[in-house]
Structure 1
């Protein structure tokens, strides 16, 4: 390949880079949430978190306080102290407690997110929301990434399968709900938790509870979390730590109960993020191209365990977020009326070196996202004990989201034909020319809904349930694409603007039955039709009239479950069978109409997920709890056209599936339908095991030992089955050993995360543009991909 022909092929890569390629309490009627928090909410048997407590497990998965063993929903519920013993301080670590939950990591917070049963959303677009909804104290978060640290948590509930009927919006694949501790009337206390460990690990939280009167109390909290990055930059011209973490903030909560029938709960919080996880590293490079040449200059060897980079562009991130909510509960005889009003806003930005080398091809890649949301829910809850009980309500959600994406660089590169010399991809422009391409998506979305769910108690042991939700969505897009002043547009980029609107009305439902042959065993079967609202692509736009709408995503879920508490609750057995079909799956795919490899969001077709989830909790002696959980998930694409082929995958002429786009028939890449392949980032098997031993030492002390192990089978992070993006099966061992006062006034301990120092990738990608590094691969490390050992201290005054 000559330098001239190489430049021609790299121009296609330049065009591709013109656009992107690659927490106050859960709502419930007066008395019910207080009862839920007052009860010792141990983990349910769908989780593998051990506990020595025997109290009932109270959750609000159906918007009323219930024993988790009586709820006909696939759920994992864990209380705050169990999270602390597992050293879980961020939502990304929840996979440790629920095998069906995974977290896809990326350099962009918006492109990172939860997957449940293999289903989730990955998108750079501000016009597309996640399939897994995140709820804090009953408030739906329009941007789930705005919760990065878990503080003053009463419990977390993970609900699997479609949950949007009762919870706000866009929970088509599942829901993660956080409930924080409410102020305690008549109690004065200060609690604190601190951790210090290797890898610069530092965590500190302080919570104070102060009674204001006989009917009111105030609760304030503050937190600080910091740790060094996993990846080191060897280029002395830029900071060495490119993916460290820094979060800090606080909040205040007020509970006022002026009468026995009325309570008001007001909460507000604010936090900042000074540094973001995570950074790309090279796992494989092509000889003679810029990544191989520059890594060799700094003595870096690309591999699956490499933790070093040499980059010329600056990596940085910043975010601030905050909001307030007011929950009013009023008892009207045997009925309860709940009003929940909330306002939240957030801003985040992150940029990184797009080419991941010291050569300036695209040294600035990233963007920002600003969000403002208001929500209002009004809910009526009937009494229980009769033939029929129900929950019904109205919901309003109004959100303004503005996303900005920018790529900027000099389009310089090294190819084998240049023999290590940097060449200009666009030699017609003067030396030092700065190329730029950016876009802005402004999306205003409004969602109006009415919902109801009723239980018909046919007999003492048999209950039929049915519910529905009518949702009306209205969205407006304002899109702009251009170049910053003083820069030259990246080849292939165009300047344009467009506006577009979408309206959609949908009915989702849930029907089923639950049967309890004995007081210790409950079985259920349900059919649920979920809903994830429409959205906009707003990534690759070639003309002002191009349709950017993305149709709603519709899942249908079939589920059968059994919940059993045996031997006087010394043994708990739970199992769930499920099958989910998703129609009009919203996905990010290659744009087949483009001569470049730019992406767009579209309804890629369908997907199917089926499997089984199970768990066991055994308490052979009062001091010891053994627990384990696992999931088998067979998640595959039913129809997924427009998936880009991996490097070396055969074309149609060679007997393979890959077809080049008509606009670029000489492309070395191709595209195909991935029907039948496993969903990206969805392992077939996942499991976790926990042993928890707590034993009094004398009359005043208590010792505790806890070990946990979680693992998964092989997983491919690409939808095209690329063998280079497979993460081999791995397992992580953690633990916590400590001693403290029998009355929980203090405790000191030693903890370990990833004790065996197992190196694993949270994400693997091929090079963003094949012509820049044919056959090259990048990967991202989670902070838990390296061993962390430290000391913890807890106190209560």
Structure 2
């Protein structure tokens, strides 16, 4: 039905535009495969579709980092999160579950982890915009290239790409029978396999099918069940394509893909926790330091997902114009049940005499874990989420020659987001019958008390937009650039919180339901100038306005009667750059300076009730972000067989935000020698960059801070990489190769509230690979070493039980401790890959 609707819409617009299209006599090229017909391409020329038409990278007035399939293979980049190894402007931060993982470009990314909110860095696969950022974290298979577009891309790629875009382009079916594949085996129980078969079914019909499978053993281990890996990820996927030349001027490309992941994401590990009393109280004590890989878990966490994407793309040549239609449907579902790293770390622990059955939408049986003093720990906090999205895009692409070139079109999207949740925990009061050291429930008169909350929520959005971007040549060398996107979006939500999940449980959240809706009209766009020094060099300067849409809180603690949405996030960005071939064309140099100002930053922060002045953590608009800096990259063939690549990004990203929680040191000012927390009366002026106590009408208070020019989390000022590769014939048809690469970054914070302890010093990592290959690239064997110097680093950091301390124990950071998220590449490991193609 939806495919048919897209076809009808496509053909209707084609007929309507036919008189206009026939007025010119040039042939437009809209696919990379056809780019060579538009221009004389130099050997090794890079072609991108950053402006919805195939163009040489050196001609595009946009900062784009293009990563080819060869580079992905050479650097063992098997999934999207590993793209940070090749793209210094791209950083990755790991959250408590996969849905909270995020990309950042030039320091800017998602600061609001609510399933109702969009990602600031959008992911596009074969022209299809993914509905949520979590969908973009996947294995890479059958990829032709990946383009990372820095800065807002809302004119051509949709409203929510206000920080940047990851554009994944997979290979079209080939005109001749071909196949390729890779098999990788590495330390840590890592096994990967991927392959593609492609070729013609007739003179006009071509097909391909690709698949991938990976099993990556967790790099953490259970201290409760020695030898059990924590964080194992198993994934598999398949993608099929049909490429049909229906007529000489009409081509259809149908794509269907299915991807499934079973993950142990996202456990963190204690690396500092000097309180020996608390460590000794754990079921299996361990040493908390940078070498620790033990996690105190009774049941493995899980974060599973599956995704289907189907699309139908049509390209119709009408005279010198090309009409393109992309009809797409996607369905994404996940089910997560993250568990605590340690069971409250309270001395001593209580464990329920009988395991309690808890079924949060498919989770397994759990064991109640409690601590002294009646403290308790969440048993489960998870449940499923879903995204269903249908989209239709129709656009016209002008010829690539002449004084005026442009892309213009219409876009429609409807999306439904669902969220369910269960939170359940147990507590056991300390009494004469339940003394310290005995299992909870030892007393026949004092039994565990269970608390649970449930949620059923959803959000629906509809958007329609008209967009266009063009270039007009004022002279042979000077062009003016202009683009605009006019859009209307409506968003509605519902929240139902029915109370406890099981009879006899106590519910701590209010029972009720609510709904609301909002609508927004917005205009985004782009202006710029481009000056071509010659065919292989240009200067450009652009201004772009970006936008990320409104959303509602649909998580467990949502205020069900809250009708105020999180307002749209906007950005005004400026960029000036150079692209050109130097050293006689042997090297490509790109450089750009940038400045961007984001307003109405969407964050998870403290909000104060206007009547009671009590504080609640909710998604809100808390301030603004400024990012400024420069980046440069060079890629060169020094001599035959010797290539060098290097890139660097400097990005100073600062944030202003009100109503943030105070940091751990601020809340314990006397211990850290900080100023005492001042009390601010109702209605009085609030200070900046200091923790203060806000009185409320009932005589209580809550602490806050207003940050000015703070460091944006996940945004190191410096990032860069460099690689050198050398190939040389050996004997017969064999050649040998060796490649070394390096990545570095400076200090970064992990906390919007500016806690100095939740940060990471700068570091550098080195990779090495070497092997043999056939000189015709039909097969290769590569041995690789990741993180050669065994430099430990992390992708997330948080405190370990910041309310945990025995009575009378002196409180300071060293006795407090923290957890970190450790990727596998934070430890050195060795592997090998065999690749083939024919």
Q: TM-score, normalised by structure 2?
A: 0.84
The equivalent of 2:154 in structure 1 is: 164
Deviations 1:29-54 (A, max 9, x none): 97441436879x9xx9xxxxxxxx94
Over 3 Å counting, the alpha-carbon distance change for 1:305 and 1:54 in structure 2 is: farther
Helix, strand or coil at the partner of 1:481: strand
**Aligned-pair distance for 1:337?**
0.1
CA deviation profile, 1:643-698 (whole Å, cap 9, x unmatched): 44224454533998212454699999832012211101111111101101122334
Question: 1:768–1:182: structure 2 CA closer, same or farther, 3 Å change rule?
Answer: farther
User: 1:18 — aligned with what?
Assistant: none
Residue 722 of structure 1 corresponds to which residue in structure 2?
A: 755
Contact 2:264 2:300 in 1 (8 A): no
SS state at 1:356 partner = coil
2:810 aligned with 1:740: no
Q: How far apart are 1:429 and its partner, in Å?
A: 11
- Structure 1 pair 336/196, CA: closer, same or farther in 2 (3 Å)? same
1:652 equivalenced with 2:680 (yes/no):
no
Whole-angstrom distance in 1 between the partners of 2:292 and 2:703: 30
8 Å CA contact retained: 2:734, 2:772: yes
SS of corresponding position for 1:83: helix
Listed one character per residue, the Cα deviations across residues 461-515 of structure 1 (whole Å, up to 9, x for unaligned) are 1010001001111111011224343266667421121101010010001000011
2:208 to 202, 205, 219: 219
Q: 1:253 aligns with which of 228, 231, 241?
A: 241
CA, structure 1 residues 273+756, in 2 after alignment: closer, same or farther (shift >3 Å)?
A: same
Shift in Å at residue 790 of structure 1? 0.8
Q: Is the 8 A contact 1:605 1:641 kept in 2?
A: no
| Number of the residue aligned with 1:20 | none
- The reply to whether residue 570 of structure 1 matches residue 586 of structure 2 is yes
Give the C-alpha shift of residue 277 in structure 1: 3.2
Paired residue secondary structure (2:100): coil
Question: SS of the counterpart of 2:98?
Answer: coil
Q: Pairwise mapping of residues 161-240 of structure 1 onto structure 2 (< 5 A)? A: 161-185=151-175, 187-236=176-225, 240=228
How much has 1:125 moved relative to structure 2?
Answer: 1.6
Contact 1:294 1:310 in 2 (8 A): no
For the Cα contact (< 8 Å) 1:191–1:206, is it kept in 2? Answer: yes
Superposed CA offset, 1:613-672 (max 9, x none): 111223221211111111111100133432442244545339982124546999998320
Partner of 2:310: 324
- Distance (whole Å) between structure 2 residues aligned to residue 429 and residue 662 of structure 1: 41
| Pair 1:383 & 2:424 matched | no
Greater Cα shift, 307-316 or 761-770: 761-770
Please report how far the alpha carbon of residue 368 of structure 1 lies from its aligned counterpart in structure 2 after TM superposition: 2.0
Partner of 1:525: 541
TM-score, length-scaled by structure 1:
0.89
Determine if contact 2:254/2:311 at 8 Å carries over to the other structure. yes
Matched, 1:472 2:488: yes
Secondary structure, in 3 states, of the residue corresponding to 2:198? strand
Contact 2:264–2:301 (8 Å) recurs in 1: no
Task: Tell me the residue number matched to 1:50.
Answer: none
Aligned to 2:831: 790
1:736 is displaced (CA, Å) by 1.9
Report what 2:605 is aligned to: 589
**Of 33, 36, 39, which residue of structure 2 is paired with 1:35?**
33
Say yes or no: does 1:105 pair with 2:94: yes
Whole-angstrom CA distance in 2 between matches of 1:420 and 1:456: 79
Distance change in 2, residues 1:791/1:78 (3 Å): same
How many residue pairs align between the two structures?
A: 752
**Are 1:683 and 1:715, in contact at CA under 8 Å, matched by a contact in 2?**
yes
SS of residue paired to 1:675 = strand
Distance in 2, Cα, partners of 1:150 & 1:334: 35
CA 1:595–1:233 in 2, change beyond 3 Å: closer, same or farther? farther
Change (3 A) 1:595 1:782: farther
Distance 1:38-1:407 versus aligned 2 partners, 3 A rule = farther
Q: Distance in 2 between matches of 1:543 and 1:620?
A: 61
1:731 to 2:764 alignment: yes
Q: Is the 8 A contact 2:28 2:399 kept in 1?
A: no
Cα distance in 1, alignment partners of residues 216 and 509 from structure 2: 39
Equivalent-residue separation in structure 1 for 2:716 and 2:835 (angstroms): 36
Counterparts of 1:715 and 1:608, CA distance in 2: 16
Alignment partner, residue 553 of structure 2: 537
Question: How far apart in 1 are the matches of 2:778 and 2:494?
Answer: 55
Given that residues 645 and 670 in structure 1 are in contact (C-alpha distance below 8 angstroms), is that contact kept between their aligned partners in structure 2?
no
Question: Are 1:341 and 2:339 matched, yes or no?
Answer: no
Partner Cα separation in structure 1 for residue 648 and residue 477 of structure 2: 29
CA distance in 1, matches of 2:510, 2:438: 27
Q: CA deviation at 1:313?
A: 4.1
User: In the superposition, relative to structure 1, how do residues 543 and 348 fare at CA in structure 2: closer, same or farther (>3 Å)?
Assistant: closer
Cα deviation, 1:386-430, whole Å, max 9, x if unaligned, reads: 22111001011111111233322113599xxx99648989x9995
Q: Is the 8 A contact 1:232 1:240 kept in 2?
A: yes
CA contact (8 A) 1:313 1:364 kept: no
**Residues 154, 545 of structure 2: 8 Å contact kept:** no
Instruction: For residue 576 of structure 1, report the CA deviation from its aligned partner.
Output: 0.7
Match of 1:495 in 2: 511
Q: Give the Cα–Cα distance (whole angstroms) in 2 for the partners of residues 583 and 499 of structure 1.
A: 27
- Equivalent pair of 2:515/2:563 in contact (CA under 8 Å): no
Q: Which of 770, 773, 789 in structure 2 is aligned with 1:756?
A: 789
Residue 607 in structure 1 maps to residue 625 in structure 2? yes
Q: Secondary structure of the equivalent of 2:72?
A: helix
Measure how far apart 1:378 and its partner are: 0.2
Structure 1, unaligned runs of 5 or more = 1-26, 45-52
Using the alignment, how far apart are the partners of 2:481 and 2:794 within structure 1?
42
Check conservation: 1:679, 1:719, Cα contact below 8 A: yes
Q: What is the deviation of 1:539?
A: 4.1
Q: Which residue number corresponds to residue 255 of structure 2?
A: 267
Q: CA deviation at 1:541?
A: 5.5
Aligned-partner Cα distance in 2 for 1:348–1:766:
27
Corresponding residue SS for 1:94:
helix
Structure ranking higher on relative contact order (CA contacts 8 Å, 6+ apart): 1
Deviation digits for residues 406-464 of structure 1 (CA, Å, limit 9, x no counterpart): 322113599xxx99648989x99952222112333301111111100110100111010
| Worse overlay, 63-72 or 691-700 | 691-700
| Distance of 2:440 and 2:531 partners within structure 1 | 71
CA RMSD of aligned residues (A): 3.0
Comparing 56-65 and 124-133, the one that deviates more: 124-133
* Aligned equivalents of 1:668, 1:516: Cα separation in 2: 62
**Bigger Rg over Cα:** 2
In the alignment, which residue of structure 2 is the partner of 1:373?
A: 389
Between 1:433-442 and 1:110-119, the stretch displaced more is 433-442
Task: Identify the residue that residue 49 of structure 1 maps to in structure 2.
Answer: none
Q: What does 1:134-153 correspond to in 2, within 5 Å?
A: 134-147=123-136, 148-153=138-143
Indicate the larger mover: 439-448 or 499-508.
Answer: 439-448
CA contact (8 A) 1:537 1:548 kept: no
Partners of 2:218 and 2:697 lie apart in 1 by: 41
Deviation (angstroms), 1:367: 2.8
